Amino acid sequence: MRRILLVGGGTGGHIFPLIAVAQAIQEFARQNSIEIDLRVLGEGRFIRQACVENNLKFKSVMGAKWRRYFSVLNFIDLLKIPVAFIQSLWHIYWYMPDAVFTKGSYASIIPALSARLYFIPVFTHESDSVPGRANVIIASWAKKVFISFKSAGVFFKREKTILTGNPSRRELFTADKSDSLRFFNFDGSKKIVFVTGGSQGAGVINSIILEALPSLLQRYHIIHQCGDAHIKNVQEYISKLGKENPEINSAIQNGYRPLPFLPTPDLARAYAASDIVISRAGAANIFEIANMGKPAVIIPISESNGNHQVVNALEFSKFGAVVIEESNLTPNILISQLGRLLENAQEVGQKINEFATPDAGDRIASVLCSQS
């Protein structure tokens, strides 16, 4: 029996690759007749829900986050640290895994340190081209650091790093295009644009899509994942827009699908139905797009940790993705770049697919199932 503990929390960018690794471990164990006891330790409703959906054993641990700006929450979170430490020590003691794998969010630091105190080997994965603070800390005692971008290797000891790419969930690649078009009630008469700001949505992208919507709908049908926090404002805007212009209202009803959040099966359908993707530059999004071989317009967050989204986007642009920084983002530029990419969609998609790492989860699983 090999016991493996996966640790994570935060947003989808950390959680979804963790789920992908869990799936890869289960498949590797099945193919190699290895008996596995796989569990997840994490913080937050999001990861708990993901574990329930994937039938993974889950234990909760309190998360403590240090913000780089002044906030009363920093002082509150300081009080959470001893509680999280005791919880982590307790859960790990009773499970006593052979290996601990973390995804580098702030929720991973204390469990990773607890594992270190029990002399349990720790492995971590860095999704971005510029690592976050959590992974820089964890890497100091980790046995191996898996990285998605070759450029991230300069931040870690060479003998520790393994270039794997970013793991993507297997279910994302199983949807059928015709079935997906029917699911979104599209007739296939226009090219489909899938817009995503990540699991939480992106206000800047939402605003530019709404501003450009009348022009976009003349040429395309749109699936728009706008985020739970933004869906109400989006719906109010398109309702007002439709009332002011019956012709636009008809185009909205026929060709625009605003959605707060897409669960994995629906996200798979959105990718399958789409001809091109507009996205943020989070690693999870970039590698999903690459694995699907979709032309893409990437709009990185202008101010992210270590400017990692801009660096991610520039790495991706070497394979044919178009990058538009927020300061240059206008409806005309966006529409122009969509048209340019779709003129050579097949060629661009093939080039982008060269960036893909469909075996990332498998490579991580093989190490976790064999090293101690």
96 phi-psi bin (left φ>0, alpha ψ -120 to 50, beta other)? left
Q: Which helix (H) or strand (E) holds 35?
A: none
Could you tell me what percent of the chain has a pLDDT over 70?
Answer: 94
82 pLDDT above the threshold of 70: yes
Nearest to 225 by CA among 185, 267, 272, 273: 267
Residue 309 among known ligand-binding residues: yes
User: What DSSP assignment string belongs to 121-133?
Assistant: -EEEEE-SSS--H
Residue 269 among known ligand-binding residues: no
Predicted pLDDT of residue 125 = 97
102 pLDDT above the threshold of 90: yes
Indicate the pLDDT class of residue 77, thresholds 50, 70 and 90. low
Q: Give me the chain's average pLDDT, please.
A: 91
Distance between CA atoms of residues 26 and 22, nearest Å: 6
Residue 11 among known ligand-binding residues: yes
CA angle 303/304/305 to nearest 5° reads 130
Indicate the pLDDT class of residue 203, thresholds 50, 70 and 90. confident
Please give the model's pTM, rounded to 2 decimal places.
0.92
Nearest to 79 by CA among 65, 59, 61, 60: 65
Residue range 283-290: mean pLDDT, rounded: 96
Residue 169 among known ligand-binding residues: yes
Domains of the chain plus CATH, in order, are 2-166+359-368 (3.40.50.2000), 171-353 (3.40.50.2000)
